[in-house]
Structure 1
């Protein structure tokens, strides 16, 4: 790897760090906090960033509080007044179920004088499971796993989740009624759809049981006859947007994918590099999105359109991976490996693709980087990139060539971050 290539990868790392820093809870929570009320203030929440959000809240709130939030194993931070529970993600476990039950208990029997502050971020759907009484945790786990492997979009996955849960799809807000409810959201979904972030426990859900069943059948997800009958009869319906129990609910987006991309663009500008943000909500099969990005990259490199190199192409969103091989998937690394294959070692191009929560798919690795030498380094080790891509095993590929990006828990979650550096032709 040349010194210029090293400089380019350091630049990309710096942009990713800027994106993470700009969306940290300690920066975003204090400016959106509600005022104290005459009654009690109960803080609840779920997500990979929820513990850090709870810490920021209790350090800045002027009144008395109590509460409980549930976060992913390894993502807890110390709090004095808010209980922190760790549970499994992306497939729920017993700890998550018990935490959801406790949350429901804590917000029951409130009055108009009380308020509930709900802290939500990506991962909240899996971390706060409370399936309907007829659905066991084990069956819920099987359905979750099947959906995650199916290639369904996050919007489709969470549509199903909302209709199998007592808390999602406005259920938590309904349980809080008549208390005031303020929800602070760190968005990890394309378009910042409020009903999709953590499956929308405090907002109305415009989708129906029929929609959920259509998605289940589209991806051939196996469910019991009981669940099918309940969905067909509309008995698992979510709370709708005009429900009276939502009248005292306020929802605030405090950190978004666009904020992360803008922070990265600002960092690049400070370093004298032009940036083009292609979009904050790009979706689709990861390896196919990579082919489109490769085409744009070649256009910039060879024809200086729509921006003149040296420059950086930034994008966010959430792609999907349909697992067909024996690998663990990971949409960012799958995108990146497909991009490398399409670019064929074209000189002067480096890229990074990472999940901003520090976990890409089911691996505790944020993502990876590529340079013009990635494929040749792999070939020197006897590795065929296309075989790893076909096997959904990109994480192993990048580990073997030493180009994984490992951050540990980032304490935020604003979806995927992708940056492609394109140098000027020599």
Structure 2
């Protein structure tokens, strides 16, 4: 039986929100749990939107976190299709778009992120797309199928994970694909040029055309439909559809209007401590919208990937229950493109590392790559090699100095590195890595 004297409210109907609600019940919370989502669909996972569901290999129902009946069975009250429009911290209440006012004792903000918009002429034309929500994927599936049947052209603005995964999906349907990006390689801000070039080669082998060092300046239409695009270097590319895949911005308007502290800088987000508490002790935040003071990495990070929602929601729920929480999960994400599957752990943006070391066969795309600074592993990516995420994360967490030659040797078990006997002579003369 639900105890109506305590009410925990979750604003955000994604994976983080659903897993937080699940965790509250699993940890024995008997008060009211109210989950508010501005989409009419039940909470779902986002990776299939650019992977299995988009390609047609997975059914629509596979994306949902729980069966719809689960929420009633767990006494989770749902307000779907209703945006939260105002947060009244003084009276501890959330106002919804339909005028409903919901009281809370504790509140979790898992408001997610929204795709960044192209600010160029022509974005109002039919055939300009974003991919963030299930409704977007529903529409884009039909678009890619039609483009494949008609030998149509898709132009993708942006060469990040979403852009590349949609490019792979589009090629699987037979569509022509051109990717336009200001960076010198795909995934440049995450993998740097060393591994970004590998993904460029992979996509070129499958017929994708790249136009690097350029930005879209105009989407040109004919009879209200996309006809071609122009870039800032004067080039034109044929296009029947355009996907804007230029990143996502945290949805912080509700928090900002309520006076909660936000993280500075271009990434932004709702500032939270390691326990996922905001500047208001009764309000927590997790998932894409939260910028966490990471206890291991020593800086504030906002991570938009699936694993952060999967783990952050439950961590916030435990923190709301006054359990001791220090959210120190390493950033982790995965991607599947054509015959390449990969997993990445850690944090090593360009400029933070001084060498990249690979073990395995890069040519066959069966390898593990490591990003190092002063012989310390900051991040690792396994490509078509599996069951090594644990040892990679252990090595990053250890902070150990490793010999790059030893790190590159497939004969040395990863699990032995990062230990006093297995770290190797990291400071030995001539120690060097392979890019």
Q: Calculate the TM-score normalised by the size of structure 1.
A: 0.31
Which is bigger in relative contact order (C-alpha 8 A, separation at least 6)? 1
Greater helix proportion: 1
Larger Rg: 2
Larger relative strand fraction: 2
Given the two structures, how large is their TM-score scaled by the length of structure 2?
0.31
